[in-house]
Structure 1
Amino acid sequence: MLNLLGLDAVAESVYRGILDRPQDVDDLCDRLKLTEKEIRDALDRLSEMALVRPSTEDPGQLHAVSPHVGMEILLARQQAELASQKQRLEASRAAAAQLILEYDDRRADAGSAEAGVRYLEGIDSIRDHLAVLREQVVRELLTFAPGGPQTQANMSASRPLNQQLLERGVQMRTVYLDSIRSCTDTMKYVHWLTEHGCQVRTVPSLPNRMIIYDRKAAIIAAHTENTAAGAMQLTSQGAVTTLHALFESVWQSAEPVVRQARPTPGALNRQQAEALRLLAQGLTDEAIANRLGVSPRTARRIASGLMDVLDADSRFQAGVHAVQRGYLPSTPL
């Protein structure tokens, strides 16, 4: 149950056992039906996490910190920043933004068709076209899925379609936002996908909604703020190659959904680091909420938390402190 917080099953059972009452290694072996080595290895891990210590009342017994304090300790260990991957991700976002800018106003006329661009207007047109492409895909389907937690309607509609693709042997890789990890229903769906062979990873934010079919065609949203308004199909080799490179770059920096890296104590977590980067770009709370796939209220809470972490009284001061502590570059990327 606590594996997402870095605590394996054996260590968790030992921690729970000590919570019931302080006891020594022999008692734990008898009660939990574990070997002495398993108990001592688990105690070493729990001690490293500051979750157990010798009892002050009886040094021969073990004492577990309260669940409230213990969970705070585990959550604190999850705070980290994967800063080494940010510069590459930024370069990829810039390339994607340039490509989207070049084609945003294109339409499916004769000229654009020859250039490998087809404009799809309206959600019904987009869905119909996606259905055709799904029937044609043979080897690989790559997807950026922004927007945070998925709706029940979307997951119910997608499940049989994805199952058909996976049963046909199509290799699927999907990148969601980190914010889905807090949604139980979405995570159940994601685990269902992984059990059926789909590879899933998450990142703090995504530049746009995108699907790449067999590296021959790509669909991107025409408007990042309203992905249902329209979409573009790109089939020119240069455009598809660029978008595929973008996907692979983001994929390499993304975190597998089945495990999440243990952050360095005291560092920002991935969502906080991304929110800080967006704040430094001057985005509003509403725009940041959209990029992170969370509510505006949650975005404001994240921003407020950053102010506390950075010991700042204003967003300007937070930016100064972030640069001083190495969370942001001293010059814009």
Structure 2
Amino acid sequence: MLDVLGMDATAEVVYREMLAHPQNGVADLMRRLQLTEQAVRTALDTLSELALVRHSPKDPQNYHAVDPHLAAEMLLARQQAELAAQQQRVQEALAAALQLKSEFTQENDRDQLHRLVGVDCVRDYLATLYDKVEGELLTFAPGGAQTAANLCSSRPIAEDLLERGVQMRTVYLDSVRNDPATVAHADWLAARGGRIRTVPSLPNRLIICDKRIAIVAVDPDDTAAGAVVLQTAGVVSSLYALFESFWQSAQPMGATAAPAGAKRLNPQQMEVLRLLSLGYTDEYVAARLGVSARTARRIATKLMEHLGARSRFQTGVHAAARGLIRP
């Protein structure tokens, strides 16, 4: 019963016996409780440590049991002191942990890199980030035609940003020009102040906010795998320059690309030539252009005929030899 106070069963029965018979000495306790002298003296030592017994002022060999009420107050005070000490240790441990975290965070702040794992994590982060955009939002949107779900979910966000005066510039792939839903969405954005251009291919999915935060897909072939958030000024500045480079060479969405049968090759065909010259397969070309493998093969076949080549790779070589692309 009294083990909560720090005494064992033997110490408890000895204490109770001393309270019932204050005049009992060690010998009396041994006889009444059927305990050895060693067991009684060990119990008395325990009780003495707990301040529940004191040596008798008349006879140092005998002990006096402290009044239970006073003893309880003394034990409570001791436990409160122990609790305070424990709390102090916990606070010191917490302070040490916070210091370590602070040091780690400072190191991370210097690197300013944060990993977002999975598409849901990326969406949650972007939902929070878009609320903080103040001036400009730039986007590379590879992958070809956008799904109806993506277009629908992005409209409220885009509308809010544009109403707040945020400048939005987006670069899609040329292949989206063949998708009515994506074209309609682009027209909707343009009507509200958004600016859209297209290029034959894009290196990766990229979002830049206010020239201070960049979000890049960790895997350009699987953008659902997650993304990396970058805030280092030099890195963001380089990515911003990359965006501007693509933007300057991109074609406004409202403009009409040169027809496939024209003498001059259109940007999409030029990009196919460049990729073929590097030895990429039709499947890879299709993924970069955001078109089907069948469309990529059709474009490559027409280019082979146009240049009189016998293979995909030879097509690229002939194009480089004629100065159509850089070797």
Which residue of the partner structure matches residue 167 of structure 2?
171
CA contact (8 A) 2:275 2:285 kept: yes
CA drift of 1:110 comes to 7.2
Q: CA deviation at 1:303?
A: 1.2
Letter paired with 1:123? V
Q: Distance in 2 between matches of 1:221 and 1:320?
A: 32
Residues 1:287 and 1:262: Cα distance change in structure 2 (over 3 Å): closer
Partners of 1:190 and 1:208 lie apart in 2 by 20
Q: How does 1:195-206 map to 2 (within 5 A)?
A: 195-206=191-202
* Structure 2: distance between partners of 1:319 and 1:251: 25
Most deviating of 318-327 and 116-125: 318-327
Aligned partner of residue 212 in structure 1, secondary structure: strand
| d(CA) in 2 for partners of 1:303, 1:261 | 18
1:325 and 1:236 map into 2 onto residues whose CA distance is 42
Q: Aligned pair in 2 of structure 1 residues 319, 216: CA closer, same or farther (>3 Å)?
A: closer
Select the residue among 299, 302, 307 that pairs with 2:299: 302
Q: 2:32 maps to which residue?
A: none
Shift of 1:329: 2.8
User: By percentage of residues, which structure has more helix?
Assistant: 2
Gaps of 5+ in 1: 1-107
Query: 1:225: which partner in 2?
Result: 221
Q: Which residue of 2 aligns with 1:292?
A: 289
Deviation sequence 1:118-156 (CA, Å, 0-9, x none):
000011110000001000001110000000110000000
Give the AA of the match of 1:163. E
**2:241 is the counterpart of 1:245:** yes
Structure with greater contact order relative to length (CA < 8 Å, sep ≥ 6): 1
Per-residue displacement from partner, 1:149-187 (whole Å, max 9, x unpaired)? 100000000011100110111110000000000111110
Deviation at 1:298, TM superposition (A): 1.2
Shift of 1:328: 2.6
Alignment counterpart, residue 259 of structure 1, candidates 252, 255, 260: 255
Q: 1:144 aligned to 136, 140, 143, which one?
A: 140
Q: Mark the CA change 1:302 to 1:262 in structure 2 (over 3 Å): closer, same or farther.
A: closer
1:77-226 equivalent positions in 2, closer than 5 A: 111-226=107-222
User: CA-to-partner distance for each residue in 1:200-225, whole Å, 9 max, x for gaps?
Assistant: 00000001100001111010101110
Is the 2:276–2:313 Cα contact (8 Å) retained in structure 1? no
Q: How far apart are 1:270 and its partner, in Å?
A: 1.1
Contact 2:257 2:266 in 1 (8 A): no
What is the identity percentage for the equivalent residue pairs of Structure 1 and Structure 2? 54
**1:168 maps to amino acid:** R
TM-score by length of 1: 0.64
Q: What is the rounded CA distance, in whole Å, between the counterparts of 1:207 and 1:261 in structure 2?
A: 21
Larger radius of gyration: 2
SS at match of 1:136: coil
**Aligned counterpart in structure 2 of residue 312 of structure 1, from 302, 309, 313:** 309
Q: State the TM-score, normalized to the length of structure 2.
A: 0.65
Give 1:109 shift: 8.0
Q: Output the CA distance in 1 between the equivalents of 2:307 and 2:316.
A: 9
Over residues 290-321 of structure 1, what are the superposed CA-to-partner deviations in whole Å (9 max), with x where a residue is unaligned? 11001111111111111111122222432332
1:323 to 316, 320, 323: 320
Q: Distance in 1 between matches of 2:249 and 2:154?
A: 26
After the TM superposition, list the runs of 4 or more consecutive aligned residues in structure 1 that deviate by more than 3 angstroms.
108-114, 260-265
User: CA–CA distance in 2 between the matches of 1:247 and 1:329?
Assistant: 21
CA distance in 1, matches of 2:254, 2:182: 14
Alignment of 1:44-55 (within 5 A): none
SS of the residue 1:228 aligns to: helix
Structure 1 residue 261 displacement after superposition: 5.6
Question: Aligned partners of 1:231 and 1:320: how far apart in 2?
Answer: 36
Aligned length: 223
Contact 2:279 2:313 in 1 (8 A): no
**Amino acid aligned to 1:267:** R
